[in-house]
Each structure stands twice: as structure tokens, then as C-alpha cells.
Amino acid sequence: MKCTRCREHAEVHLRQHNSAFCRRCYVTFFQRQVERAIHKERMFTVEEEVLVAVSGGKDSLALWDVLVTLGYRTTGLHLALGIGDYSLVSTQKTEQFAQTRDLTLISVPLAQEGPGLAISTVAASTNRKPCAACGTVKRHVFDRVAAERGFGVVATGHNLDDEAARLLGNVLHWQTDHLAKQSPVLQPTHEKFARKVKPLFRVSEYETAVYAFIRGIDYIVDECPNSVGATQLTYKDVLNRLEAAMPGSKLTFVQEFLRAGRPAFATAEARQPPETCQRCGMPSYGAVCSFCRLVAEVERKRQPLRRTGSA
């Protein structure tokens, strides 16, 4: 198979684009896809410094690589989640990536936050599923660090497969408030929120993995142990079966929702702007934000252990 651009030997075949690429042309193709998404959706400019949430996985490290290559000013933000060896390796890969490229990285070990918020601790201390608690903690810390350090933009490595799976879940359950907010760009609704952007939203997991591989990015291949049986994986499997039969389905699903579907939900679901959390001062849709409610739950569950230990 020959490269569509230069006719050299192709290593990558993208049925959804009816194209094949050699290594060099693929890198150009991928970077242009991301750049086009940034410009078309007005995610950020070269004048803004972007806080890039990096986990050590292929998507976030590929994103950081592309943004740096395209000339954007970036700082990485890594949360050490405290999920055993998985998190240790994730942190090691992220730090190595930053060091070899001389990039600035902020690392936040969740085990040292508040009463100790390693995800394994939170899951053991509360009745919440680990993934739900993980999402709440990550969103809060992203927002808090961005506010403390003056970043106006936070970029995450959510890709087309993530967005399509999320959209499928929201449609299956007709979660109209979520459908109203699903977008590759979320403008802040409070002065302490940063703009949230997903520059990889048009590229598939496969395309991102191929980019990371060709660029020699050493990412963690293992999956989060808490993701076994996750609903997102079921949705992704359904969508990949559809994509195999009808290439381009995932991109059409997401793009046409953004163009033709979301506007209807956004009109119906206009929400009051958030208040301010009484505990931490961050934006909240109640007197106490969801993160502080989770922290309070962890503190309550851990108190009896401390009293017993101090005899």
C-alpha cells in the first residue's frame, strides 16, 4: 500500500479518511488535524499558556507532544492517583516525557491532598465507585491548580472515541443536561473556572496511538485496573463494530451532534451560574461543592480509625 501524499510505503491505513500514510506524512496529517480543531473551535491562541492534563497514557502525552511541536506554550499537570503500581508507572512515564523534552510539569500526589485522597483510599472510605470519585477529584484539582497558577485554559486528551462513547451514553439515557454541555470547548461559567478544551476530539484512539508510536512516546500501555467492566468500554465496543461496518461513523456521530443536535439541548438546559463553595471557595452548584462533599465523607470514615489508634 502506498502513501496517499508521497507514494512511499504506507504504514497506516485510515479507512474513514480513505487514505494511507507513510510515517512522515502521517505525523503531518495528525498534527494538522489537531491544529485545525484548535483553530476551528477557537480553543486557544499561541499567546495563551495552556495547562495540559497528562496522565502518562498515549492520549495526553500525544496531545502534549503535538501542542509543543505546533509552538504552543504549555505546562503539564499530572495527578498521581494512588492506584498502586499503575499510578507509579504512569507518573514515571509522565516525568520521563517532560524531562527528556525539557518541559515544565506540575505533579500533584493525591495521597497528600486533604485527608489523603489517593483514589484507592477514597474508594475504600466511601460508597462511591472509584471512577466516579476519580472524576470528581480530578476535575476539582484541575480547576484549583489552573486558578492558583493563573491558567485560563486546561486541555485534556479526550479523543474521538471518548467523545463518541460519552455521546452514546448520554443519548441512550437522554441526559439532556449532559447533552447541553457536551462540547470540545467549555467556556468558564465562573471566574475561578478555566476554559476546558479537547484538541484531540476529532482524532480516534487508533490515530492517537499510531501518532504516539511513530513519535517514540513511551506511554503506559496497561489499563487502569479500575476500568475493568467500565460502561465506557461497552459503548466503545459498540461504536467500533459500527465503525468497522461503516467507516467514518464515529466522526459523523460527534460532528453532526455538535452541529445539529447540541444547539437544541443547550437552549433547553440553560443553568444558573454556580455559587461559591463554603469550604474551599471554588465554584459550586450548592453550598458545598461535590469535591468537598467527597472529602467530608473520607474524613468521616477515617475518624473512627484515628480514635481507636490513639489509645
Partner 1 sequence: MRITLLPQRKEIDLPGRRRVADVLRHLGMLPGTVMVIRDDELVTEQDFLEPEDSVEIRSVISGGA
Binding footprint of partner 1 on the chain (CB under 8 A): 1, 10-13, 15, 20, 55, 57-59, 81, 83, 86, 90, 131, 134, 161, 204-206, 208-210, 213-214, 221-224, 226-228, 230, 232-233, 236, 240-241, 243-244
Question: How far, in Å, CA of 149 to CA of 116, rounded?
Answer: 22
Q: E strands of the chain, at which residues?
A: 12-14, 19-21, 49-53, 73-80, 105-109, 153-155, 185-186, 195-197, 275-276, 283-284
Cβ closer to partner 1: 96 or 227?
227
Q: Could you give phi then psi for residue 125, rounded to 5 degrees? A: -90, -15
Nearest distance in Å: CB 246, partner 1: 12
Nearest distance in Å: CB 289, partner 1: 22
CA angle 140, 65, 157 (to 5 degrees): 35
Q: Could you give phi then psi for residue 14, rounded to 5 degrees? A: -110, 100
Q: Could you give phi then psi for residue 9, rounded to 5 degrees? A: -60, 130
Q: How far is CA 225 from CA 87, 125, 146, 193, in A?
A: 10, 18, 28, 30
Which residues are within 8 A (CB) of 21 and not within 5 positions of it... i.e. 6 or more apart? 3, 4, 5, 10, 11, 12, 14, 29
Give the residue among 93, 62, 58 at the shortest CA–CA distance from 78.
93
Nearest distance in Å: CB 39, partner 1: 26
Cβ closer to partner 1: 82 or 283?
82
Nearest distance in Å: CB 213, partner 1: 6
Cβ closer to partner 1: 172 or 221?
221
- Residue with the three cell numbers 489499563: 223
Nearest distance in Å: CB 304, partner 1: 30
Cβ closer to partner 1: 199 or 283?
199
Map 188-250 to HEC letters.
CCCCCCCEEECCCCCCCHHHHHHHHHHCCCCCCCCCCHHHCCCHHHHHHHHHHHHHHHCCCHH
Cβ closer to partner 1: 226 or 284?
226
Nearest distance in Å: CB 34, partner 1: 17
Nearest distance in Å: CB 69, partner 1: 20
Nearest distance in Å: CB 218, partner 1: 13
Cβ closer to partner 1: 78 or 196?
78
Nearest distance in Å: CB 11, partner 1: 4
Cβ closer to partner 1: 81 or 145?
81
Question: How far, in Å, CA of 159 to CA of 284, rounded?
Answer: 27
Cβ closer to partner 1: 125 or 240?
240
User: 124: left (phi > 0), else alpha (psi -120 to 50), else beta?
Assistant: alpha
Cβ closer to partner 1: 22 or 180?
22
